[in-house]
Structure 1
Amino acid sequence: MSDAPAQTTDKNSRYASLVLGMSLPADTVLYLVLPLYAAQFGLTLAEAGILLAANRLVRIAGYSTVARLYAKHGDRAACMLAAAVASVCALGYATCSGFWALLVFRLLWGLSYAALNLSTQSLATAELAGAARRTGQSRALIALGPMLALPLSAISAEHYNPHIFFLLLAAVALCAVPIARRLPSGQGHIKPREQRFRLPGALDIWSFVEGLVLDGLFIVGLSFLGHSIAPTGAVVIAGLLLALRYLAEILLSPVGGQVAEKYGAERMLVTLSVTTSVALVGFGAGWLWACAAAVVVLRALQLPLIAPIVAQRYPGPQRVHALATRAIWRDIGAGVGPMMAGVLLPVTSSLLLYSVAAACLATSALACRSRQ
């Protein structure tokens, strides 16, 4: 009987992860095809960067509203609605072109992802015991959809057009709605808190820098720089490398979660971030594909670490608010990153750009160990 609550927590975490994993591929595929096929979507590269950032930026303002709605209606209602909206957004990518039309779908997806991400992390850390293990397993399930979608979408874009594959992704997201019905109903059990200004801590700064560098500068740079090296096959190579990131999550995130419980998530965070910084310098220096492969694997290993660190530092009712705060800081960075990439990549030395980015990532990670 004592194992029943833990089994229920594990089951709820799996269901929420599957819903996010089936809703996410349209977003990850857009990061692959939009920088390379901006003209076919009626966009400039700078506009593509803004659209890739828009879903992050809307969450900065919208996370508090999403958290309140999640607290009121709970996991089932929030995730069912978010999955349905994700399907509509994928359909929009398949059928619409132009900046303003696509902006609407990016904003809708941003709020939907906020709900899905909040539910996934909240359920994975509902009990502190086993939180790192559940978070690792959660990342593996979430990664399955993007891992399969990225190479298939790259082949579709290379041989047909970049729009058509989104029709399939819309159907997949719609199939996530019945799975979301299995999540617990009722309130999300988030207690309201006072709104007060607080300077960002070391973990906030790392979340910001990680989002800016790895979810912004690196992802957009992979497509942009890859196209300059291999114009005819860049989308397929980039798609395979991004799929490798998710394959690494499937294979290594559960292992990383177990190791984090044994040796400490903070120690792993610092080690992996510093190693990623070295690979980023090589990426900017011209060892594009090899260092890109190293970056995507190392990034995948870092993803399960932030939730257990937050759960340990902020136990009890503070936990969900703290998770949302870290997500906001990451979204700020990941929102600024694509816009910076769209402006700087055509005019800046890639070695200089990624060396500065690497230094920022390593410094912010080291600060997480030296300050609480």
Structure 2
Amino acid sequence: MAADRDSRHAAIALGATLPGDTVLYLLLPMYGAAFGVTLAEAGMLLAANRLVRIAGYGYVARFYARHGDRPTCTLAVVAAAFCALGYATLSGFWALLPLRLVWGLCFAALNLSTQALATAEPRGAALRSGRSRAFIALGPVLALPAGAVLAQAAGPRPIFALLAIVALGGLFATRRLPSLPHPALGQSRPHPRRPNALDTWSFLEGFTLDGLFIIGLSFLGKDLLPGSAVVAAGVLLAMRYGAEIVLSPVGGRMAQRWGAERLLVVLSLITAVALLGFGAGWLWSCAAAIVVLRALQLPLLAPIVAHRHPGPGRVQALAARSVWRDIGAGTGPLVAGLVLPVVSSLWVYGVAALLLALAALACGRGAPRAAST
């Protein structure tokens, strides 16, 4: 089926470029001095790629609509490779900041293409989204442990030169993408509105799982396992993406059977419990549980949005929802960098867990009964 093939190629392109970002999330908080930044500056740099998408998703969506998947993703892959090369060679907050902003727009383009192609055909959208997430995770699952080991042996910089070459490999996948424009998709600009329940959940899911959790894993793990924390955190983050390979298709099948909204509520409540345990000190066991739960949740949002916004408005709705997730995932590292050194981790993750649970329950109350996909 064309939808399956196109979705797979877009996911491979994103999977080839993503390791440059995920390895930076691992190494920058631990090796900030090697990059010429403080922990607070590291948090701002890791947030910058998310925050630029808040303003940039509208431009990216219009560019995507006007030019189509192949040109958009090709440009994004080339720019992402240059960003990875910059991480290997440049130092200091102001030198690294432009790279993070460019990467944010690259990810926006590639992510929008993967979601749009995965949901292009309503039938099987949840299954296709799950398989897409598995392909995207292939790059990070290999790069994270390799980056951790290489960083311990030779410092944090050399791995990014290798990842720049890996990113260029994504061009083999972008050549196979469709090149037709999507004129009906560029008529409106996605931007944050007053959030509904699903918007709030998207924000908090990004804030906790893509912000507080990742920074906390590096920061707290450094104290628990001095000397080998980078390898332990790298392996665990690799497990996070390995879990996506195995479990995201499972999450898609579960959503197909029981309904995406219902599954979202249940998994989010369990995730809140795991976050509380993570903050209470059960770092590695609860982190492993969060990794599994996150992988099961990843395929749920796109089919929910596609069901509620059928037709050409689907891509704009996907982009708008991504804005709210990026607001959360962008502020998460900022908050983590500022409060984790001075506030008890139990309070930080306990409050985040409570808010995520409340948002999930609100989604369950507002979910249309026919929303299973």
Q: By the TM > 0.5 criterion, same fold?
A: yes
Q: Figure out how many residues of one structure are paired with residues of the other and give that number.
A: 366
SS in 2 for 1:362: helix
> What is residue 72 of structure 1 aligned with on the other side?
66
Equivalent residue in structure 1 for 2:256, among 239, 261, 269: 261
CA gap 1:88/1:194 in 2 versus in 1, 3 angstroms? closer
Q: Choose 253-262 or 143-152, whichever is displaced more.
A: 253-262
> What is residue 240 of structure 2 aligned with on the other side?
245
> What is residue 3 of structure 1 aligned with on the other side?
none
Equivalent residue in structure 1 for 2:188, among 158, 177, 193: 193
> What is residue 272 of structure 2 aligned with on the other side?
277
- Structure 2 distance, partners of 1:283, 1:158, is 25
Residues 1:305 and 2:300 are matched in the alignment: yes
CA contact (8 A) 1:216 1:336 kept: yes
Residues 1:107 and 2:84 are matched in the alignment: no
- Structure 1 distance, partners of 2:193, 2:110, is 26
Equivalent residue in structure 1 for 2:82, among 75, 79, 88: 88
CA gap 1:360/1:93 in 2 versus in 1, 3 angstroms? same
- Structure 2 distance, partners of 1:119, 1:177, is 14
- Structure 2 distance, partners of 1:196, 1:35, is 31
CA gap 1:93/1:229 in 2 versus in 1, 3 angstroms? same
CA contact (8 A) 1:191 1:317 kept: no
CA contact (8 A) 2:57 2:105 kept: yes
Shift of 1:327: 0.4
Shift of 1:160: 1.1
Equivalent residue in structure 2 for 1:317, among 307, 312, 316: 312
Equivalent residue in structure 1 for 2:131, among 105, 129, 137: 137
Shift of 1:188: 2.8
Percent of pairs identical after alignment?
64
SS in 2 for 1:200: coil
Please list the CA deviations of residues 160-219 of structure 1 after superposition, one character each: whole Å capped at 9, or x if unmatched: 110100111100101111320110012034141377874211110000001111111110
Unaligned runs of 5+ in 1: 1-6
Residues 1:219 and 2:211 are matched in the alignment: no
TM-score, normalised to structure 1's length? 0.97
CA contact (8 A) 1:75 1:188 kept: no
SS in 2 for 1:367: helix
> What is residue 25 of structure 1 aligned with on the other side?
19
Equivalent residue in structure 1 for 2:149, among 128, 135, 155: 155
Please list the CA deviations of residues 37-73 of structure 1 after superposition, one character each: whole Å capped at 9, or x if unmatched: 0011000000000000000000000000000000000
- Structure 2 distance, partners of 1:87, 1:194, is 28
Please list the CA deviations of residues 293-326 of structure 1 after superposition, one character each: whole Å capped at 9, or x if unmatched: 1111111111111001101111111111110011
CA gap 1:194/1:307 in 2 versus in 1, 3 angstroms? closer
Question: Residue type matched to 2:179 in 1?
Answer: S
Unaligned runs of 5+ in 2: 368-373
TM-score, normalised to structure 2's length? 0.96
> What is residue 50 of structure 2 aligned with on the other side?
56
Shift of 1:267: 1.0
- Structure 2 distance, partners of 1:160, 1:198, is 47
CA gap 1:77/1:293 in 2 versus in 1, 3 angstroms? same
Question: Residue type matched to 2:355 in 1?
Answer: C
Equivalent residue in structure 1 for 2:334, among 333, 339, 354: 339
Any residues of structure 2 matched to 1:40-51 within 5 Å, and which? Answer: 40-51=34-45
CA contact (8 A) 2:134 2:244 kept: yes
CA contact (8 A) 2:77 2:167 kept: yes
- Runs (4+) of structure 1 moved beyond 2 Å? 193-198
CA contact (8 A) 1:283 1:354 kept: yes
> What is residue 168 of structure 1 aligned with on the other side?
162
CA gap 1:113/1:195 in 2 versus in 1, 3 angstroms? closer
- Structure 2 distance, partners of 1:220, 1:188, is 37
Shift of 1:243: 0.7
CA gap 1:197/1:67 in 2 versus in 1, 3 angstroms? closer
> What is residue 370 of structure 2 aligned with on the other side?
none
> What is residue 347 of structure 2 aligned with on the other side?
352
CA contact (8 A) 1:223 1:234 kept: yes
Any residues of structure 2 matched to 1:176-191 within 5 Å, and which? Answer: 176-189=170-183, 190-191=185-186
- Structure 2 distance, partners of 1:293, 1:252, is 13
- Structure 1 distance, partners of 2:220, 2:191, is 42
Instruction: Indicate the RMSD between aligned Cα atoms, in angstroms.
Output: 1.1
- Structure 1 distance, partners of 2:88, 2:344, is 34
Shift of 1:258: 1.2
